Structure 1
Amino acid sequence: MKLLVRIVLLAVMALVIVYAGVVGYMYVNQRALQYDPTGAITLLADTPLRAAAAVSIVSGEGAINGWYQAPGAGKPLIIYLKGNAGSFSDEHKRFEQFVADGYGFLSFDYRGFPMSPGQISQAGILEDATAAFDWAQQKGFPIVIWGRSLGTGPASYVASVRDAKALLLETPFLSAATVGAERYPYLPVALVMQDQFEVNQWILDVDEPVLVAHGTGDRTIDVSNGQRVYDLAPNKDELWIVPGADHGDLWDRGIWQHATAFFERAMARP
């Protein structure tokens, strides 16, 4: 009997040591696990965006690099805050559609992503997004904010501390810690995660009308996140849930048509 107790205790100790090792590894390497900043850069000259310009915006002690084009008469400027993987320049087809319909745009890589030097962190991403908004605001155009995936974090934050005409959240998360806990329910994600992007808190201070778009087949951020973010928004406009759509499907499923109608409603408000 004593031998059995000893074996059980040794097994429990071994499990505790392994578990502590996993948690320790996650803590030390969490930003490498959380972000995916690698990827090729598409040159502006290799796109049809002939009237757009490459811009460098001071942020913190460095600068973020992106593209900008002014809107046509009566249209807003879209500040497009990218998702987690690669460079914003991968999404140039979206910008081409924006411009074709008369909208302006500003998009960029957060520090630590392909076109902008620096180290990735939540504080840096929020500072970069706020600096981009302040730079764009000086142009004098009405501004709408569009955040996608990771970008829904800084989009919600900026909308909570600045005044825009509208906030569009594409595949948002309630918080990064929520997504981590859903993926790894056996790990104390909320206790050790540094960059939690608390959209659930920031959205409470967003006065702008909000559109949330999500797909029921999203395997990266569960659709329940989008529903809960929308439920918390003080100024609800539309919740667009697309049956079967995965994390990267919404552009092909027609989000631009929903976005333009949303922006027109927002622009019509006093």
Structure 2
Amino acid sequence: MTTLWRFALAAALLYAGVVAALALTQTALIFPRWAMSGAESRLPSDTRRLQVDRPGGVTLHGMDLPGPRDDLPVILGFGGNAWPADALANYLRAAMPDHRIVVFHYRGYGPSSGRPSARALAEDALAIHDHLQARNVVAVGLSLGSGPAAHLAARRDLAGLVLVSPFDSLTNLAQGHYPWAPVRLLLRHRMEVARDLEGVQAPVALIAAGSDTIIPAQRTAPLREVASNLVLDRTIPGAGHNTLYEHPDFVPTLRAAVARMIPP
């Protein structure tokens, strides 16, 4: 065997090994529960604990932070893959103190049992919504949470949908980060946000970070083409994927988005 053939074989084996590792670790990469260890955030004293039982013995745990105004929509939050649910609940409460805030731990996260998957999170979103029995709900999906939030909005009658740092498709997003890998063949977790958005009749708001390298602009752009009732579309210049929420323009933009979903 020539040196060239040995090199080619070694390169092929290395590539196969890296691709195999990517395939085997994809769930941990998409749902990095290992990054969520630590003490829970202290919740307000008026917080109510919620529980939703799912098939297979899975129990989802959430929190309900009451708001002073029953005439405003309930904010149902779906966080990013490494944002603890209790911390998100506190953030949304501080951002929109007049609203009732509901956030659940994804399955496999925090006290919720089970193993996370894109399909399971989508189905859980429907179950959580139905458990609330609230007629006036705005779903807020952040980053990965855009998937279950859009899935819910396409299948239930919501007051509105706010997507923050959203992507059109998890497959497209992953392919952009791993252009050398056969992502479309390997990816088991599918979130088709653009496809779901085509079926959403409720008002939709899109908020993006202008310097986002994790979910780049080209992954958000297709959503503008399919949202039939787009009431707010704002990109915050200079904000990154993880610094967006600290940007001084973010909370006012989030409030403006929800306000446009409240009938006059």
Q: Are residues 1:95 and 2:95 paired?
A: no
Instruction: Give the counterpart of 1:128 among 119, 124, 129.
Output: 124
Q: Which runs of 5 or more residues in structure 1 are unaligned?
A: none
Larger Rg computed on CA atoms: 1
Cα deviation for residue 189 of structure 1 reads: 1.0
What does residue 42 of structure 1 align with? 40
Q: Are residues 1:115 and 2:111 paired?
A: yes
- Residues 184 and 209 of structure 1: CA distance in aligned 2, closer, same or farther (over 3 Å): same
Stretch deviating more after TM superposition (103-112 or 12-21) = 12-21
Work out the CA distance in 2 between the residues paired with 1:258 and 1:184.
32
What does residue 237 of structure 2 align with? 243
- Residues 91 and 240 of structure 1: CA distance in aligned 2, closer, same or farther (over 3 Å): same
Instruction: Give the counterpart of 2:162 among 168, 174, 188.
Output: 168
Q: Are residues 1:259 and 2:254 paired?
A: yes
Provide Cα deviations, 1:73-103, integer angstroms capped at 9, x if missing partner. 3111000001101521122431332562x10
Q: Are residues 1:196 and 2:190 paired?
A: yes
CA RMSD of superposed structures (Å): 1.9
What does residue 179 of structure 1 align with? 173
Work out the CA distance in 1 between the residues paired with 2:232 and 2:92.
23
- Residues 69 and 119 of structure 1: CA distance in aligned 2, closer, same or farther (over 3 Å): same
Task: State the TM-score, normalized to the length of structure 2.
Answer: 0.91
Which AA in structure 2 matches 1:252?
E
Question: Residues 212-227 of structure 1 correspond to what in structure 2 (within 5 A)?
Answer: 212-227=206-221
Match of 1:266, SS state, is coil
Contact 2:96 2:255 in 1 (8 A): no
- Residues 213 and 104 of structure 1: CA distance in aligned 2, closer, same or farther (over 3 Å): same
Which AA in structure 1 matches 2:77?
Y
Q: Are residues 1:152 and 2:136 paired?
A: no
What does residue 28 of structure 2 align with? 32
Aligned residues: 259
What does residue 55 of structure 1 align with? 50
- Residues 96 and 130 of structure 1: CA distance in aligned 2, closer, same or farther (over 3 Å): same
Runs of 4+ off more than 3 Å: none
Contact 2:211 2:241 in 1 (8 A): yes
Instruction: Give the counterpart of 2:64 among 51, 59, 68.
Output: 68
Provide Cα deviations, 1:158-195, integer angstroms capped at 9, x if missing partner. 11111101100000111112221111111111110000
Which AA in structure 2 matches 1:77?
V
Which AA in structure 1 matches 2:85?
F
Work out the CA distance in 1 between the residues paired with 2:74 and 2:89.
16
What does residue 77 of structure 2 align with? 80
Instruction: Give the counterpart of 1:16 among 12, 16, 21.
Output: 12
- Residues 115 and 41 of structure 1: CA distance in aligned 2, closer, same or farther (over 3 Å): farther
Match of 1:200, SS state, is helix
What does residue 202 of structure 2 align with? 208
Provide Cα deviations, 1:80-128, integer angstroms capped at 9, x if missing partner. 001101521122431332562x101110111111221111111211122
Match of 1:267, SS state, is coil
What does residue 143 of structure 1 align with? 137
Contact 1:41 1:87 in 2 (8 A): no
Instruction: Give % identity.
Output: 25
